[in-house]
Amino acid sequence: MAEMTFIELDDEKTWRKIIGIWQESSIPGLRFKLVHEDIQVIWQRGLLTTFPLQLFMALSVKEIIEIINREITNAASR
């Protein structure tokens, strides 16, 4: 399970989605940050990607993890 770093969110659905991502992934230092209406995805090397909150909630945990993994692969090839 990825390291949990907490963000301040009042919405239980968003929390459940983030917890699902932490449970299903093994990405080191995976964190989430709410900035205005966006969710920033951050890992041990910095910012990976940003999702509009509405899109983040529409995607499944599996889809979000696939996008995050793709961003990690892209970052490694730079």
pLDDT digit of tens for each residue in the chain (78 aa)?
444 444 555 678 888 999 999 999 988 889 999 888 899 999 988 899 999 999 999 999 999 999 999 999 988 777
Q: Is residue 72 part of a domain?
A: yes
The string of DSSP codes covering 4-42 is P-------HHHHHHHHHHHHH---TT-EEEEETTEEEEE
Range of the domain at 46: 12-76
Whole-Å CA distances, 23 to 55, 61, 75:
20, 10, 23
Q: Which residues pair with 43 in a beta bridge?
A: 46
**38 found inside a domain:** yes
Total count of domains within the chain: 1
Residue located via tokens 């990607």: 49
